[in-house]
C-alpha cells in the first residue's frame, strides 16, 4: 500500500515542481481557497494559538495574521515540492544567505549546530550546505511511508545534505570528531516535546512550556558552536537567511544559556512577522502542567 500511494502521488508532485512561477503560485492560491475556506484545516487551533500569545492584539489584526499565515503555509508546502527540480542556481536566487562568511569562519574551528524554528521556509535551509566546506547534516523525523522517506533523503542529498535522526546525531558527531571531520548539523528546535520526557521548561512567547534542549546538550558535551538561523520572507518565493552566533564554544556556556538564547531569538523573529510561523502546531498544549521543580527554575541572567 505504501508503494501504491507513492506511485500515485509522485507524478502529480513532479508536475507541480516544474510549473512556471505564475502557474505555480496560481495553483497555491487554489490550494489556499480549499484549505482555508472549504476544509478549514486547524483554523480553531491557529485562532487559539494567536489569541494565547497575542492577548492584547485586536481581533481584526489576529484575523489578518491567520489568513496571511494560511496563504504562506500553502506557498511553503508547494515550495517544498518544488525542491524536487530546483537547481543550485535557482535556490541561490530564491534563498539568499547574507553573512555566509561568519559560518565559514566558525566551521574552521569546530563543528556547528545551526538551530532554527518552523518559520518562513525552513525546508530550503538545507541549501546552505552548497556553500560550505563542512559536511552537512539535517536532523529529521522519519516519515512513516518508507518510499517517501527515501525520496526526501535523496532530494536533500542533491544539496549536499545527509538526513539523520535525533538518535543518530550524537553518534555522528562523535564519529566525525574521531576522524577529524567538521560537520554542520541543522536542527529545527521549537517543537513541543512529550511532557513526561521534558528535561527543561521555560517561557516561550510569554507562556511556560516544555522545550527541547538537545542542541544545547550536544554543544556543551561535545564542544560544538551554535548558530541561530534567522530567515525572512522578502516576497513570494524569495527569502534571505542571516546567521546569528549564540555560542562559538559550547563547553564555555552556562546551563540553559543556549536554549534561552534560541527561544529569545525565535520570539523576536515571530513578533517581527507573525504570519510566517507555523501556527497549526499545538505548541502550547502543555501549558500549566509543569512539574513543581521546573516552575522554580530561574532563567540565566542575560
Average pLDDT over residues 109-115: 95
Q: Is the pLDDT of residue 151 over 70?
A: yes
Q: How far apart are CA 296 and CA 302, in angstroms?
A: 18
Whether this model's pTM surpasses 0.85: yes
Average pLDDT over residues 286-297: 73
User: What pLDDT, on the 0 to 100 scale, is given for residue 20?
Assistant: 96
Sign of the C-alpha dihedral computed for residues 213, 218, 224 and 230 taken in this order: negative
Q: What is the pLDDT of residues 34-83, one digit of tens each?
A: 999 999 999 999 999 999 999 999 999 999 999 999 999 999 999 999 99
Q: Please, which residues have CB within 8 angstroms of residue 162's CB and are 6 or more apart in sequence?
A: 135, 136, 137, 138, 156
User: What pLDDT, on the 0 to 100 scale, is given for residue 45?
Assistant: 97
What is the average pLDDT score of the chain? Answer: 92
State the cell numbers at 205: 512567547
Q: What is the pLDDT of residues 156-182, one digit of tens each?
A: 778 889 999 989 999 999 999 999 999
Lowest mean pLDDT among 5-19, 126-140, 191-205, 288-302: 288-302
Strand partners, 115: 187, 228
Sign of the C-alpha dihedral computed for residues 295, 297, 301 and 302 taken in this order: negative
Task: Report residue 296's pLDDT band, with 50, 70 and 90 as the boundaries.
Answer: very low
What one-character-per-residue DSSP string does 64-117 give?
HHHHHHHHHHHHHHHHHHHGGG--HHHHHHHEEES-HHHHHHHHTTS-EEEEE-
Q: Which range, 58-67, 101-110, 129-138, is most confident?
A: 58-67
User: What pLDDT, on the 0 to 100 scale, is given for residue 223?
Assistant: 96
Q: What is the pLDDT of residues 197-235, one digit of tens each?
A: 888 999 999 999 999 999 999 999 999 999 999 999 999
What one-character-per-residue DSSP string does 1-63 give?
-HHHHHHHHHHHHHHHHT--HHHHHHHHHHHHIIIIIII-TTHHHHHHHHHHH-TTS-HHHHH
Query: How much of the chain exceeds pLDDT 90, in percent?
Result: 77
Q: How far apart are CA 1 and CA 3, in angstroms?
A: 5
Instruction: Return the domain boundaries, the chain.
Output: 2-290
Amino acid at each position: 500500500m505504501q508503494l501504491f500511494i507513492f506511485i500515485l502521488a509522485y507524478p502529480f508532485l513532479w508536475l507541480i515542481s516544474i510549473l512556471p512561477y505564475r502557474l505555480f503560485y496560481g495553483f497555491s492560491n487554489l490550494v489556499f481557497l480549499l484549505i482555508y475556506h472549504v476544509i478549514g484545516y486547524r483554523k480553531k487551533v491557529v485562532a487559539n494559538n494567536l489569541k494565547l500569545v497575542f492577548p492584547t492584539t485586536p481581533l481584526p489584526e489576529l484575523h489578518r495574521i491567520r489568513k496571511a499565515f494560511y496563504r504562506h503555509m500553502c506557498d511553503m508546502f508547494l515550495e517544498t515540492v518544488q525542491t524536487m527540480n530546483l537547481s543550485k542556481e535557482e535556490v541561490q536566487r530564491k534563498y539568499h544567505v547574507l553573512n555566509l562568511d561568519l559560518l565559514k569562519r566558525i566551521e574552521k574551528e569546530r563543528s556547528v549546530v545551526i538551530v532554527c524554528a518552523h518559520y518562513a521556509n525552513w525546508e530550503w535551509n538545507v541549501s546552505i550546505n552548497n556553500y560550505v566546506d563542512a559536511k552537512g547534516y539535517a536532523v529529521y523525523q522519519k516519515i512513516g511511508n518508507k518510499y517517501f522517506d527515501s525520496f526526501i533523503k535523496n532530494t536533500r542529498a542533491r544539496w549536499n545534505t545527509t538526513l539523520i535522526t535525533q538518535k543518530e546525531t550524537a553518534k555522528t558527531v562523535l564519529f566525525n570528531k574521531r576522524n577529524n571531520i567538521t560537520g554542520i548539523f541543522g536542527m529545527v528546535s521549537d517543537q513541543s516535546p512529550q511532557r513526561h520526557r521534558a528535561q527543561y521548561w521555560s517561557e516561550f512567547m510569554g507562556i511556560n512550556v516544555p522545550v527541547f534542549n538537545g542542541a544545547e546538550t550536544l554543544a556543551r558535551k561535545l564542544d560544538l558552536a551554535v548558530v541561530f538561523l534567522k530567515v525572512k520572507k522578502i516576497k513570494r518565493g524569495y527569502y534571505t537567511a542571516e546567521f546569528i552566533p549564540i555560542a562559538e564554544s559550547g563547553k564555555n556556556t552556562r546551563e540553559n544559556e543556549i536554549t534561552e538564547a534560541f527561544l529569545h531569538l525565535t520570539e523576536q523573529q515571530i513578533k517581527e512577522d507573525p504570519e510566517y510561523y507555523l501556527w497549526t502546531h499545538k505548541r502550547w498544549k502543555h501549558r500549566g502542567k509543569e512539574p513543581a521543580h521546573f516552575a522554580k527554575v530561574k532563567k540565566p541572567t542575560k
